[in-house]
């Protein structure tokens, strides 16, 4: 490391961490310890101008750049994805300010828990994920699903405009009417095009009534046929516009011995119970030992229940690390065929009981009747507007080396859903080669993104192993 690096005029006044610092490990280590990636240095801007300085300095030295918001990248892309990148760590950008007409300005380093609890003081809420320590950056720019997304859209859909540091170090405003190409690129593929120092998000009024509900159907996993029947029934139910509307959120959690359906409903518990829950449970193929629960909750209670044991207010120096491997599958509307479901549950029931890792399967409902995810028509770079389901297959261990058998189990479970599906870069998969990853993440929008890269970042400043490359 160049000992004069902190004295360069281009970075004067900007905090920098290098391998010479005693706390280097806490700034350089990855969230996913299975994929250790060591940056060349970590720059911590406190303003948009300092973020601009960081990019300009990196460009002059021919270094690749990646932003780190919360640092939860599954593939360690927020550390550059490969050794030797410059990480622009946004943890000092913590502003949360309600500016006008329900629009909130949010600094690029804010975590979801801090965002949610702060805007709630003004009676405002957003659709976003459940983990409070996730940073706004990658979550809001790669889609961002939450239990209320069917009603309000993905997290990305709530972006009104952005303040972005571009590949030449300029700080510009991007919106539908200003720097529109950049706005399109940043909403879906931001890590290939710039660094967001401020998000401007359209919030919702805190709902007057929210119902949290869950249904457990463990008997559905007694055999393959029962599992297929149960999932197919839920899929048909979700597409039934006579019962289901945008106010219903659904996530299914699966394991070889688990079939649980959880969700929210933007309305009163009595209304939900009579109009949706009763017909839902009555039609379930596997009723033995089925249990159901629904209760009216305050939004603040809902946030904490989603978070579990994690506090909503995450420290700026959050240092949790996990050893894991995950893959995802985006299933287009109208959903999975019975043959696909049979193949999937056959594998899960056969191999799930003997896998050497802890695992879970989360299946998020994107589509279905009246979904505002699929209804959104604003131009963006998101590849899965037509998704019915988003599967996440996640395996982890407590310590040591992640076993190859665990990798094969997660990969094979994902593959068991069949060919022709996409994947989510919210759950970036490092086992994919660049070309395959980009096709799975961006679908038909990839060709346009390649062209935008040529214009917006021709020197490939913002780069990692799966980032967009110019044609």
The enclosing domain of 65 has a CATH number of 3.30.43.10
Task: Please indicate, yes or no, if residue 467 is contained in any of the structural domains.
Answer: no
End of a domain among 54, 73, 89? 89
Same domain, 199 and 130: yes
Task: Please indicate, yes or no, if residue 132 is contained in any of the structural domains.
Answer: yes
Same domain, 103 and 200: yes
Task: Please indicate, yes or no, if residue 201 is contained in any of the structural domains.
Answer: yes
Task: Please indicate, yes or no, if residue 385 is contained in any of the structural domains.
Answer: no
pLDDT score, position 5: 59
The enclosing domain of 168 has a CATH number of 3.30.465.10
Q: Which pTM was predicted?
A: 0.96
Same domain, 103 and 142: yes
pLDDT score, position 262: 97
HEC profile of the chain: CCCCHHHCHHHCCCEEECCCCCCHHHHHCCCECCCCCCCCEEEECCCHHHHHHHHHHHHHCCCCEEEECCCCCCCCHHHCCCCCCEEEECCCCCCEEEEECCEEEEECCCEHHHHHHHHHCCCEECCCCCCCCCEHHHHHHCCCCCCCHHHHCCHHHHEEEEEEECCCCCEEEEECCCCHHHHHHHHHHHHHCCEEEEEEEECEECCCCEEEEEEECHHHHHCHHHHHHHHHHHHHHHCCCCCCCCCEEEEEEEECCEEEEEEEECCCHHHHHHHHHHHHHHHCCCCCCCEEEEEEECHHHHHHHHHCCCCCCCCCCCCCCEEEEEEEEEEECCCCCHHHHHHHHHHHHHHHHHCCCEEEEEEEECCCCCCHHHHCCCCCCCCCCCEEEEEEEEEEECCCCCCHHHHHHHHHHHHCCCCCCECCHHHCCCCCCHHHHHHHHHHHHHHHHHHHHHHHCCCCCECCCCCCCCC
Same domain, 67 and 106: no
Same domain, 62 and 104: no
Same domain, 77 and 161: no
Same domain, 46 and 103: no
Same domain, 109 and 146: yes
Task: Please indicate, yes or no, if residue 246 is contained in any of the structural domains.
Answer: no
End of a domain among 154, 179, 206? 206
pLDDT score, position 156: 98
User: Which residues of the chain, if any, have pLDDT below 70?
Assistant: 1-9
Same domain, 187 and 106: yes
What domain range is 146 assigned to?
96-206
Same domain, 100 and 197: yes
pLDDT score, position 319: 82
Task: Please indicate, yes or no, if residue 117 is contained in any of the structural domains.
Answer: yes
Same domain, 105 and 70: no
Number of domains in the chain: 2
Task: Please indicate, yes or no, if residue 454 is contained in any of the structural domains.
Answer: no
End of a domain among 176, 206, 236? 206
Same domain, 38 and 139: no
Chain mean pLDDT for the chain = 95
pLDDT score, position 2: 56
Task: Please indicate, yes or no, if residue 406 is contained in any of the structural domains.
Answer: no
pLDDT score, position 288: 83
């Amino acid at each position: 490391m160049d000992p004069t690096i902190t004295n360069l005029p281009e970075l004067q006044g900007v905090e920098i961490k290098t391998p010479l610092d005693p706390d280097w490990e806490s700034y350089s280590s990855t969230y996913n310890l299975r994929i250790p990636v060591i940056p060349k240095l970590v720059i911590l801007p406190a303003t948009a101008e300092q973020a601009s300085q960081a990019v300009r300095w990196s460009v002059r030295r021919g270094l690749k750049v990646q932003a780190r918001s919360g640092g939860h990248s599954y593939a360690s892309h927020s550390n550059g994805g490969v050794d030797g990148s410059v990480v622009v760590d946004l943890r000092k950008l913590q502003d949360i300010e309600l500016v006008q007409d329900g629009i909130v300005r949010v600094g690029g380093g804010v975590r979801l828990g801090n965002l949610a609890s702060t805007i709630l003081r003004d009676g405002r809420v957003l659709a976003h994920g459940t983990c409070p320590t996730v940073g706004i950056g990658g979550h809001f720019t790669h889609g961002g699903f939450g239990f209320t997304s069917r009603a309000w859209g993905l997290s990305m859909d709530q972006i009104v405009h952005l303040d972005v540091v571009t590949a030449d170090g300029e700080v510009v405003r991007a919106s539908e009417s200003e720097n529109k190409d950049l706005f399109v690129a940043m909403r879906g593929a931001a890590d290939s095009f710039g660094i967001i120092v401020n998000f401007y998000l359209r919030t919702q009024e805190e709902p007057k009534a929210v119902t949290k509900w869950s249904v457990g159907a463990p008997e559905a996993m007694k055999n393959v046929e029962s599992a297929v029947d149960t999932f197919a029934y839920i899929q048909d139910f979700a597409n039934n516009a006579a019962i289901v509307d945008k106010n219903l959120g659904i996530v299914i959690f699966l394991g070889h011995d688990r079939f649980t359906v959880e969700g929210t409903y933007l309305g009163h518990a009595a209304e939900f119970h009579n109009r949706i829950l009763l017909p839902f449970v009555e039609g379930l193929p596997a009723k033995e030992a089925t249990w159901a629960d629904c209760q009216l909750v305050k939004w603040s209670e809902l946030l904490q229940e989603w978070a579990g044991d994690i506090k909503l207010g995450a420290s700026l120096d959050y240092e949790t690390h996990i050893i894991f491997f995950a893959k995802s599958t985006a299933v287009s509307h109208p959903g999975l065929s019975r043959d696909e479901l049979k193949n999937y549950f056959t594998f899960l029931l056969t191999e799930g009981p003997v896998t050497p890792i802890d695992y879970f399967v989360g299946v998020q409902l994107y589509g279905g009747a009246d979904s505002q995810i699929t209804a959104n028509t604003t131009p963006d770079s998101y590849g899965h507007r037509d998704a019915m389901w988003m599967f996440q297959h996640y395996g982890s261990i407590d310590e040591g080396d992640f076993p190859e058998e665990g990798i094969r189990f997660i990969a094979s479970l994902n593959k068991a859903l069949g060919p022709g599906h996409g994947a989510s870069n919210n759950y970036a998969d490092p086992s994919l080669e660049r070309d395959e990853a980009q096709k799975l993440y961006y679908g038909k929008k990839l060709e346009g993104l390649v062209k935008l890269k040529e214009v917006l970042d021709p020197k490939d400043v913002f780069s990692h192993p799966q980032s967009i490359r110019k044609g």
